[in-house]
Structure 1
Amino acid sequence: MTASSHTIRAQSFNAAAAQYAANRPSYPPALFDAIEDLAGRPLSGATVADVGAGTGIATALLHARGADVVAVEPGDGMAAEFRRTRPGIPIIRGDGNTLPLAGSSADFLTYAQSWHWTDPAQAVPEAVRVLRPGGALALWWNTDALDVPWIAEAADRTGRYFGVNVPAEKRGANARVADPSGRLVFARREVRWSRRVPIDTHLANIGSHSILLVHGEEATAAFLAEERDHLARTFPDGIVEEVYDVILLVATNTA
Protein backbone atom coordinates (compact mmCIF):
# COMPACT_ATOMS: atom_id res chain seq x y z
CA MET A 1 0.00 0.00 0.00
CA THR A 2 1.45 3.38 -1.01
CA ALA A 3 1.64 6.30 1.41
CA SER A 4 -1.07 8.18 -0.50
CA SER A 5 -3.47 5.21 -0.63
CA HIS A 6 -2.81 4.55 3.07
CA THR A 7 -3.80 8.14 3.87
CA ILE A 8 -6.90 7.97 1.69
CA ARG A 9 -8.03 4.77 3.38
CA ALA A 10 -7.35 6.22 6.83
CA GLN A 11 -9.46 9.28 6.07
CA SER A 12 -12.27 7.35 4.38
CA PHE A 13 -14.00 6.58 7.69
CA ASN A 14 -14.96 10.18 8.37
CA ALA A 15 -17.77 10.18 5.81
CA ALA A 16 -19.09 6.86 7.15
CA ALA A 17 -18.78 7.48 10.89
CA ALA A 18 -22.46 6.86 11.74
CA GLN A 19 -22.48 3.63 9.71
CA TYR A 20 -19.27 2.56 11.46
CA ALA A 21 -20.67 3.28 14.92
CA ALA A 22 -23.95 1.47 14.30
CA ASN A 23 -22.64 -1.70 12.67
CA ARG A 24 -19.05 -2.48 13.62
CA PRO A 25 -18.53 -5.30 16.13
CA SER A 26 -17.64 -4.56 19.73
CA TYR A 27 -15.13 -6.51 21.87
CA PRO A 28 -15.68 -9.30 24.42
CA PRO A 29 -15.02 -8.97 28.17
CA ALA A 30 -12.35 -11.68 27.85
CA LEU A 31 -10.24 -9.25 25.81
CA PHE A 32 -10.02 -6.80 28.69
CA ASP A 33 -9.27 -9.65 31.09
CA ALA A 34 -6.36 -10.58 28.81
CA ILE A 35 -5.11 -6.99 28.67
CA GLU A 36 -5.01 -6.82 32.46
CA ASP A 37 -3.35 -10.22 32.68
CA LEU A 38 -0.58 -9.38 30.21
CA ALA A 39 -0.08 -5.88 31.65
CA GLY A 40 -0.05 -7.14 35.22
CA ARG A 41 -2.35 -4.37 36.39
CA PRO A 42 -6.09 -3.57 36.41
CA LEU A 43 -7.83 -1.15 34.09
CA SER A 44 -10.07 0.02 36.93
CA GLY A 45 -8.68 3.28 38.27
CA ALA A 46 -5.98 3.44 35.59
CA THR A 47 -5.32 6.49 33.43
CA VAL A 48 -5.94 5.35 29.85
CA ALA A 49 -5.57 7.11 26.51
CA ASP A 50 -7.47 5.31 23.74
CA VAL A 51 -5.74 6.41 20.55
CA GLY A 52 -7.41 6.35 17.15
CA ALA A 53 -10.60 6.02 19.14
CA GLY A 54 -12.91 6.46 16.16
CA THR A 55 -16.52 6.52 17.30
CA GLY A 56 -15.58 5.24 20.75
CA ILE A 57 -16.52 1.56 20.64
CA ALA A 58 -13.48 0.53 22.68
CA THR A 59 -13.33 3.77 24.64
CA ALA A 60 -16.78 3.20 26.10
CA LEU A 61 -15.85 -0.34 27.15
CA LEU A 62 -12.65 0.89 28.84
CA HIS A 63 -14.72 3.53 30.64
CA ALA A 64 -17.21 0.87 31.75
CA ARG A 65 -14.30 -1.18 33.05
CA GLY A 66 -13.54 1.65 35.48
CA ALA A 67 -10.68 3.33 33.65
CA ASP A 68 -10.17 7.09 33.67
CA VAL A 69 -10.10 7.27 29.90
CA VAL A 70 -9.55 10.01 27.34
CA ALA A 71 -10.00 9.44 23.61
CA VAL A 72 -7.53 10.66 20.99
CA GLU A 73 -8.89 10.85 17.43
CA PRO A 74 -7.64 12.68 14.31
CA GLY A 75 -10.71 12.48 12.07
CA ASP A 76 -13.37 15.18 11.90
CA GLY A 77 -16.28 12.85 11.15
CA MET A 78 -15.27 10.20 13.65
CA ALA A 79 -14.69 12.76 16.41
CA ALA A 80 -18.08 14.37 15.74
CA GLU A 81 -19.82 10.98 16.01
CA PHE A 82 -17.89 10.24 19.20
CA ARG A 83 -19.02 13.50 20.79
CA ARG A 84 -22.61 12.86 19.73
CA THR A 85 -22.78 9.36 21.23
CA ARG A 86 -20.25 9.55 24.12
CA PRO A 87 -20.80 13.02 25.61
CA GLY A 88 -19.52 11.95 29.03
CA ILE A 89 -16.06 10.89 27.82
CA PRO A 90 -13.42 13.50 26.94
CA ILE A 91 -11.91 13.47 23.45
CA ILE A 92 -8.96 15.41 22.09
CA ARG A 93 -7.76 15.70 18.51
CA GLY A 94 -4.50 14.06 17.53
CA ASP A 95 -2.90 10.82 16.42
CA GLY A 96 -0.38 8.27 17.59
CA ASN A 97 2.55 9.77 15.70
CA THR A 98 2.41 13.01 17.72
CA LEU A 99 0.37 12.35 20.83
CA PRO A 100 -1.20 15.47 22.38
CA LEU A 101 -0.40 14.13 25.85
CA ALA A 102 2.15 14.95 28.53
CA GLY A 103 5.10 12.69 29.19
CA SER A 104 4.68 9.91 31.75
CA SER A 105 0.96 10.65 32.01
CA ALA A 106 -0.74 7.33 31.14
CA ASP A 107 -0.91 3.88 32.68
CA PHE A 108 -2.23 2.43 29.43
CA LEU A 109 -2.19 3.46 25.79
CA THR A 110 -4.73 1.47 23.80
CA TYR A 111 -5.15 1.16 20.04
CA ALA A 112 -8.30 -0.69 18.97
CA GLN A 113 -8.16 -1.35 15.22
CA SER A 114 -5.91 1.70 14.81
CA TRP A 115 -2.18 1.00 15.27
CA HIS A 116 -1.83 0.13 11.55
CA TRP A 117 -2.73 3.74 10.71
CA THR A 118 0.36 4.99 12.58
CA ASP A 119 4.03 5.08 11.58
CA PRO A 120 5.69 2.87 14.21
CA ALA A 121 8.96 4.78 13.81
CA GLN A 122 7.14 7.75 15.33
CA ALA A 123 4.40 6.05 17.34
CA VAL A 124 6.68 3.75 19.36
CA PRO A 125 8.85 6.59 20.79
CA GLU A 126 5.67 8.57 21.46
CA ALA A 127 4.17 5.65 23.36
CA VAL A 128 7.33 5.28 25.45
CA ARG A 129 7.28 9.02 26.17
CA VAL A 130 3.65 9.13 27.29
CA LEU A 131 3.53 5.89 29.28
CA ARG A 132 4.56 5.89 32.90
CA PRO A 133 7.27 3.39 33.89
CA GLY A 134 5.56 0.01 33.98
CA GLY A 135 2.67 1.30 31.87
CA ALA A 136 1.36 -0.82 29.02
CA LEU A 137 0.80 -0.33 25.31
CA ALA A 138 -2.11 -2.53 24.17
CA LEU A 139 -2.92 -3.02 20.48
CA TRP A 140 -5.75 -5.16 19.19
CA TRP A 141 -7.71 -6.05 16.10
CA ASN A 142 -10.94 -7.94 15.48
CA THR A 143 -9.94 -10.34 12.68
CA ASP A 144 -12.16 -12.71 10.76
CA ALA A 145 -11.93 -16.35 11.90
CA LEU A 146 -10.69 -17.76 8.62
CA ASP A 147 -11.03 -21.38 9.74
CA VAL A 148 -14.81 -20.89 9.48
CA PRO A 149 -15.60 -21.95 5.88
CA TRP A 150 -18.12 -19.26 4.96
CA ILE A 151 -15.84 -16.53 6.33
CA ALA A 152 -12.84 -17.81 4.37
CA GLU A 153 -14.95 -17.93 1.21
CA ALA A 154 -16.17 -14.37 1.77
CA ALA A 155 -12.59 -13.16 2.31
CA ASP A 156 -11.56 -14.81 -0.97
CA ARG A 157 -14.42 -13.11 -2.81
CA THR A 158 -13.49 -9.74 -1.34
CA GLY A 159 -9.85 -10.22 -2.28
CA ARG A 160 -10.66 -11.15 -5.88
CA TYR A 161 -13.16 -8.31 -6.30
CA PHE A 162 -10.94 -5.56 -4.92
CA GLY A 163 -7.55 -6.99 -5.83
CA VAL A 164 -6.14 -7.37 -2.33
CA ASN A 165 -4.99 -10.20 -0.09
CA VAL A 166 -7.63 -9.80 2.60
CA PRO A 167 -6.44 -12.65 4.87
CA ALA A 168 -2.91 -11.22 4.88
CA GLU A 169 -4.21 -7.77 5.78
CA LYS A 170 -6.39 -9.11 8.55
CA ARG A 171 -3.89 -11.56 10.05
CA GLY A 172 -0.78 -9.38 9.86
CA ALA A 173 -0.75 -8.25 13.50
CA ASN A 174 2.51 -9.36 15.10
CA ALA A 175 5.33 -7.88 17.14
CA ARG A 176 7.60 -7.32 14.13
CA VAL A 177 4.91 -5.37 12.30
CA ALA A 178 3.89 -3.45 15.43
CA ASP A 179 7.45 -2.35 16.18
CA PRO A 180 9.99 -3.09 13.43
CA SER A 181 12.72 -1.57 15.62
CA GLY A 182 12.28 -4.29 18.25
CA ARG A 183 12.39 -1.68 21.00
CA LEU A 184 9.23 -3.02 22.62
CA VAL A 185 8.69 -6.62 23.66
CA PHE A 186 5.12 -7.68 22.93
CA ALA A 187 3.19 -10.58 24.39
CA ARG A 188 0.52 -11.92 22.02
CA ARG A 189 -2.84 -13.48 22.72
CA GLU A 190 -5.93 -14.35 20.70
CA VAL A 191 -9.49 -14.22 21.97
CA ARG A 192 -12.28 -15.84 19.95
CA TRP A 193 -15.81 -14.56 20.14
CA SER A 194 -18.87 -14.22 17.93
CA ARG A 195 -22.04 -12.23 17.43
CA ARG A 196 -25.29 -12.94 15.60
CA VAL A 197 -26.64 -10.08 13.46
CA PRO A 198 -29.11 -9.60 10.61
CA ILE A 199 -27.71 -9.77 7.09
CA ASP A 200 -28.27 -6.01 6.69
CA THR A 201 -26.10 -5.31 9.74
CA HIS A 202 -23.36 -7.62 8.48
CA LEU A 203 -23.36 -5.94 5.07
CA ALA A 204 -23.29 -2.48 6.66
CA ASN A 205 -20.38 -3.64 8.81
CA ILE A 206 -18.25 -4.80 5.89
CA GLY A 207 -19.35 -1.75 3.92
CA SER A 208 -17.76 0.45 6.59
CA HIS A 209 -14.28 -0.98 5.95
CA SER A 210 -11.79 1.24 4.19
CA ILE A 211 -11.20 -1.22 1.35
CA LEU A 212 -14.83 -0.71 0.29
CA LEU A 213 -15.14 2.95 1.22
CA VAL A 214 -12.39 4.03 -1.18
CA HIS A 215 -13.78 2.16 -4.19
CA GLY A 216 -16.81 4.36 -4.73
CA GLU A 217 -20.52 3.79 -4.34
CA GLU A 218 -21.11 1.93 -7.61
CA ALA A 219 -18.41 -0.72 -7.11
CA THR A 220 -19.30 -1.13 -3.45
CA ALA A 221 -23.03 -1.47 -4.14
CA ALA A 222 -22.41 -4.12 -6.79
CA PHE A 223 -20.16 -6.11 -4.47
CA LEU A 224 -22.58 -5.91 -1.55
CA ALA A 225 -25.47 -7.03 -3.77
CA GLU A 226 -23.48 -10.15 -4.71
CA GLU A 227 -22.61 -10.74 -1.06
CA ARG A 228 -26.26 -10.48 -0.08
CA ASP A 229 -27.08 -13.33 -2.47
CA HIS A 230 -24.28 -15.51 -1.04
CA LEU A 231 -25.35 -14.77 2.55
CA ALA A 232 -29.03 -15.45 1.86
CA ARG A 233 -28.08 -18.94 0.68
CA THR A 234 -25.73 -19.56 3.61
CA PHE A 235 -28.05 -18.09 6.26
CA PRO A 236 -31.64 -18.69 5.09
CA ASP A 237 -32.99 -17.42 8.42
CA GLY A 238 -31.41 -14.03 7.70
CA ILE A 239 -29.12 -14.08 10.75
CA VAL A 240 -25.35 -14.12 10.23
CA GLU A 241 -22.98 -15.52 12.85
CA GLU A 242 -19.82 -13.45 12.60
CA VAL A 243 -16.85 -15.17 14.26
CA TYR A 244 -13.80 -13.15 15.27
CA ASP A 245 -10.35 -13.75 16.65
CA VAL A 246 -9.21 -10.65 18.51
CA ILE A 247 -5.44 -10.43 18.10
CA LEU A 248 -3.96 -8.66 21.13
CA LEU A 249 -0.41 -7.37 21.57
CA VAL A 250 0.71 -5.91 24.89
CA ALA A 251 4.11 -4.38 25.72
CA THR A 252 5.20 -2.91 29.05
CA ASN A 253 7.20 0.31 29.15
CA THR A 254 10.50 -0.48 30.83
CA ALA A 255 12.09 2.90 30.06
Structure 2
Amino acid sequence: MTKLSVNINKVATLRNARGGNNPDLLKVAKDCEMFGAQGITVHPRPDGRHIRYNDVYELSPLLTTEFNIEGYPSEDFVKLVCDVKPSQVTLVPDKPDQLTSNAGWDTEKYLDFLTDIAACFHESGIRVSFFVSADKRMVEYSKQAGADRVELYTEPYAAAYMQSSEFAIKEFLEAASYAKEIGIGLNAGHDLSLHNLQYFHQQIPWLDEVSIGHALICDALYLGLEETIHQYLACLKD
Protein backbone atom coordinates (compact mmCIF):
# COMPACT_ATOMS: atom_id res chain seq x y z
CA MET A 1 0.00 0.00 0.00
CA THR A 2 1.15 3.51 -0.80
CA LYS A 3 2.12 5.32 2.41
CA LEU A 4 0.48 8.57 3.50
CA SER A 5 2.89 11.11 4.96
CA VAL A 6 1.12 14.07 6.55
CA ASN A 7 2.82 17.43 6.10
CA ILE A 8 2.24 19.37 9.33
CA ASN A 9 3.60 22.75 8.19
CA LYS A 10 0.13 24.34 8.28
CA VAL A 11 -0.30 23.28 11.90
CA ALA A 12 2.88 25.19 12.71
CA THR A 13 1.60 28.20 10.73
CA LEU A 14 -1.51 28.30 12.92
CA ARG A 15 0.56 27.98 16.10
CA ASN A 16 2.95 30.73 15.03
CA ALA A 17 0.10 33.14 14.28
CA ARG A 18 -0.55 33.64 17.99
CA GLY A 19 2.68 32.49 19.58
CA GLY A 20 2.65 29.99 22.40
CA ASN A 21 2.01 26.33 21.74
CA ASN A 22 -1.59 26.07 20.54
CA PRO A 23 -2.04 23.89 18.60
CA ASP A 24 0.61 21.61 20.03
CA LEU A 25 2.65 20.55 17.01
CA LEU A 26 4.16 17.50 18.69
CA LYS A 27 0.76 16.22 19.82
CA VAL A 28 -0.72 16.71 16.35
CA ALA A 29 2.14 14.72 14.81
CA LYS A 30 1.65 11.87 17.29
CA ASP A 31 -2.11 11.96 16.72
CA CYS A 32 -1.59 11.73 12.96
CA GLU A 33 0.41 8.56 13.55
CA MET A 34 -2.22 7.19 15.93
CA PHE A 35 -4.96 7.85 13.34
CA GLY A 36 -3.08 5.81 10.73
CA ALA A 37 -0.65 8.07 8.90
CA GLN A 38 2.50 6.16 7.96
CA GLY A 39 4.76 9.20 7.96
CA ILE A 40 5.22 12.82 8.98
CA THR A 41 6.63 15.45 6.62
CA VAL A 42 8.05 18.86 7.52
CA HIS A 43 9.53 21.58 5.35
CA PRO A 44 11.50 24.06 7.46
CA ARG A 45 12.27 27.34 5.71
CA PRO A 46 14.96 29.88 6.57
CA ASP A 47 12.44 32.48 7.83
CA GLY A 48 10.83 30.01 10.27
CA ARG A 49 7.34 31.03 9.20
CA HIS A 50 5.95 27.58 9.96
CA ILE A 51 8.12 24.60 10.92
CA ARG A 52 11.22 25.76 12.76
CA TYR A 53 14.53 23.98 13.11
CA ASN A 54 13.95 23.36 16.82
CA ASP A 55 10.61 21.70 15.91
CA VAL A 56 12.51 19.22 13.77
CA TYR A 57 14.87 18.34 16.60
CA GLU A 58 11.93 17.90 19.02
CA LEU A 59 9.84 15.82 16.62
CA SER A 60 12.53 13.35 15.66
CA PRO A 61 12.72 11.24 18.86
CA LEU A 62 8.93 11.16 19.26
CA LEU A 63 7.94 9.73 15.87
CA THR A 64 7.47 6.03 15.28
CA THR A 65 6.67 6.25 11.55
CA GLU A 66 8.82 7.57 8.72
CA PHE A 67 10.11 11.12 9.12
CA ASN A 68 10.53 13.07 5.87
CA ILE A 69 12.33 16.43 5.91
CA GLU A 70 11.93 18.59 2.82
CA GLY A 71 13.98 21.61 1.86
CA TYR A 72 16.65 23.30 -0.18
CA PRO A 73 20.08 21.85 0.65
CA SER A 74 21.69 24.93 2.16
CA GLU A 75 24.55 24.44 4.59
CA ASP A 76 22.23 24.85 7.60
CA PHE A 77 19.66 22.45 6.15
CA VAL A 78 22.27 19.78 5.42
CA LYS A 79 23.54 20.03 9.01
CA LEU A 80 20.00 19.76 10.39
CA VAL A 81 19.19 16.66 8.36
CA CYS A 82 22.50 14.95 9.15
CA ASP A 83 21.97 15.67 12.86
CA VAL A 84 18.42 14.30 12.88
CA LYS A 85 18.93 11.41 10.43
CA PRO A 86 15.30 11.08 9.26
CA SER A 87 14.07 8.17 7.17
CA GLN A 88 14.08 10.41 4.11
CA VAL A 89 15.20 13.82 2.92
CA THR A 90 13.38 15.37 -0.03
CA LEU A 91 15.41 18.02 -1.84
CA VAL A 92 13.50 20.91 -3.39
CA PRO A 93 14.89 23.83 -5.45
CA ASP A 94 13.05 26.56 -3.50
CA LYS A 95 14.37 30.08 -3.03
CA PRO A 96 14.60 31.21 0.63
CA ASP A 97 11.57 33.55 0.36
CA GLN A 98 9.41 31.25 -1.77
CA LEU A 99 5.79 30.91 -0.63
CA THR A 100 5.50 27.26 -1.63
CA SER A 101 7.25 24.76 -3.89
CA ASN A 102 6.23 25.47 -7.49
CA ALA A 103 8.80 23.69 -9.66
CA GLY A 104 11.00 20.64 -9.65
CA TRP A 105 14.76 20.37 -10.01
CA ASP A 106 16.47 20.55 -13.37
CA THR A 107 18.41 17.44 -12.47
CA GLU A 108 20.46 17.55 -15.66
CA LYS A 109 21.66 21.12 -15.06
CA TYR A 110 22.40 20.52 -11.37
CA LEU A 111 23.65 16.95 -11.76
CA ASP A 112 27.04 17.48 -10.09
CA PHE A 113 25.59 19.50 -7.21
CA LEU A 114 22.84 16.98 -6.51
CA THR A 115 25.24 14.05 -6.82
CA ASP A 116 27.45 15.50 -4.09
CA ILE A 117 24.50 16.29 -1.82
CA ALA A 118 22.95 12.83 -2.26
CA ALA A 119 26.28 11.20 -1.42
CA CYS A 120 26.53 13.31 1.75
CA PHE A 121 23.12 12.16 2.98
CA HIS A 122 23.80 8.56 2.02
CA GLU A 123 26.84 8.61 4.28
CA SER A 124 24.42 9.26 7.15
CA GLY A 125 22.12 6.43 6.05
CA ILE A 126 19.33 8.71 4.84
CA ARG A 127 17.11 7.89 1.86
CA VAL A 128 17.23 10.69 -0.72
CA SER A 129 14.36 11.90 -2.88
CA PHE A 130 14.43 14.70 -5.50
CA PHE A 131 11.38 16.87 -6.15
CA VAL A 132 10.94 16.85 -9.95
CA SER A 133 8.40 17.61 -12.66
CA ALA A 134 6.74 14.76 -14.53
CA ASP A 135 9.52 14.55 -17.10
CA LYS A 136 11.32 11.32 -17.94
CA ARG A 137 14.59 13.20 -18.49
CA MET A 138 14.46 14.67 -14.98
CA VAL A 139 13.76 11.19 -13.60
CA GLU A 140 16.69 9.78 -15.56
CA TYR A 141 19.17 12.35 -14.26
CA SER A 142 17.85 11.90 -10.72
CA LYS A 143 18.85 8.27 -10.98
CA GLN A 144 22.29 9.29 -12.29
CA ALA A 145 22.73 11.69 -9.35
CA GLY A 146 22.12 8.90 -6.88
CA ALA A 147 18.55 9.61 -5.76
CA ASP A 148 16.73 6.68 -4.23
CA ARG A 149 13.37 8.17 -5.19
CA VAL A 150 11.81 11.05 -7.03
CA GLU A 151 8.79 12.99 -5.79
CA LEU A 152 6.61 14.04 -8.70
CA TYR A 153 5.39 17.65 -8.44
CA THR A 154 1.65 17.14 -8.86
CA GLU A 155 0.26 20.70 -8.98
CA PRO A 156 -0.13 20.54 -12.80
CA TYR A 157 -2.07 17.28 -12.40
CA ALA A 158 -4.37 18.83 -9.78
CA ALA A 159 -4.95 21.93 -11.90
CA ALA A 160 -5.96 19.92 -14.99
CA TYR A 161 -7.86 17.14 -13.22
CA MET A 162 -11.31 18.74 -13.20
CA GLN A 163 -11.18 19.42 -16.95
CA SER A 164 -9.88 16.00 -17.99
CA SER A 165 -8.53 13.34 -15.67
CA GLU A 166 -7.06 11.39 -18.59
CA PHE A 167 -5.19 14.43 -19.89
CA ALA A 168 -4.08 15.38 -16.37
CA ILE A 169 -2.52 11.99 -15.64
CA LYS A 170 -0.83 11.39 -19.02
CA GLU A 171 2.63 12.91 -18.36
CA PHE A 172 2.65 11.62 -14.78
CA LEU A 173 1.89 8.09 -15.87
CA GLU A 174 4.70 8.26 -18.45
CA ALA A 175 7.21 9.59 -15.90
CA ALA A 176 6.07 7.11 -13.24
CA SER A 177 6.33 4.18 -15.66
CA TYR A 178 9.84 5.26 -16.60
CA ALA A 179 10.83 5.51 -12.93
CA LYS A 180 9.59 1.97 -12.42
CA GLU A 181 11.49 0.82 -15.50
CA ILE A 182 14.84 2.21 -14.34
CA GLY A 183 14.38 1.12 -10.74
CA ILE A 184 13.98 4.39 -8.84
CA GLY A 185 11.37 4.77 -6.11
CA LEU A 186 8.36 7.03 -6.57
CA ASN A 187 6.70 9.61 -4.33
CA ALA A 188 4.21 12.35 -5.22
CA GLY A 189 3.03 15.56 -3.66
CA HIS A 190 1.59 19.07 -4.00
CA ASP A 191 -2.14 19.84 -4.30
CA LEU A 192 -3.20 16.22 -4.03
CA SER A 193 -6.59 16.10 -2.31
CA LEU A 194 -9.64 13.95 -1.62
CA HIS A 195 -10.93 15.02 -5.04
CA ASN A 196 -8.01 13.80 -7.13
CA LEU A 197 -5.91 11.40 -5.06
CA GLN A 198 -7.83 8.17 -5.66
CA TYR A 199 -7.66 8.45 -9.46
CA PHE A 200 -3.95 9.30 -9.31
CA HIS A 201 -3.30 6.21 -7.22
CA GLN A 202 -5.49 3.99 -9.38
CA GLN A 203 -3.44 4.96 -12.42
CA ILE A 204 -0.07 4.71 -10.63
CA PRO A 205 -0.57 2.05 -7.94
CA TRP A 206 3.17 1.47 -7.45
CA LEU A 207 3.60 4.81 -5.70
CA ASP A 208 5.72 4.45 -2.58
CA GLU A 209 4.42 7.53 -0.78
CA VAL A 210 2.30 10.65 -1.08
CA SER A 211 3.01 13.73 1.02
CA ILE A 212 -0.08 15.86 1.68
CA GLY A 213 -0.43 18.89 3.90
CA HIS A 214 -2.49 21.91 2.87
CA ALA A 215 -5.55 20.09 1.53
CA LEU A 216 -5.54 17.56 4.37
CA ILE A 217 -5.43 20.22 7.08
CA CYS A 218 -8.19 22.20 5.30
CA ASP A 219 -10.36 19.07 5.17
CA ALA A 220 -9.68 18.44 8.85
CA LEU A 221 -11.37 21.77 9.72
CA TYR A 222 -14.67 20.22 8.58
CA LEU A 223 -14.18 16.48 9.04
CA GLY A 224 -11.83 16.33 11.99
CA LEU A 225 -8.24 15.11 11.79
CA GLU A 226 -8.94 11.43 12.44
CA GLU A 227 -11.73 11.12 9.87
CA THR A 228 -9.73 13.10 7.33
CA ILE A 229 -6.71 10.80 7.61
CA HIS A 230 -8.99 7.77 7.30
CA GLN A 231 -10.50 9.18 4.10
CA TYR A 232 -7.09 9.86 2.58
CA LEU A 233 -5.96 6.36 3.47
CA ALA A 234 -9.08 5.00 1.78
CA CYS A 235 -8.03 6.75 -1.44
CA LEU A 236 -4.76 4.78 -1.34
CA LYS A 237 -6.23 1.31 -0.94
CA ASP A 238 -5.40 -1.13 -3.73
Normalised TM-score (structure 1): 0.32
* Larger RCO, structure (CA 8 Å, separation 6 or more): 1
Normalised TM-score (structure 2): 0.33
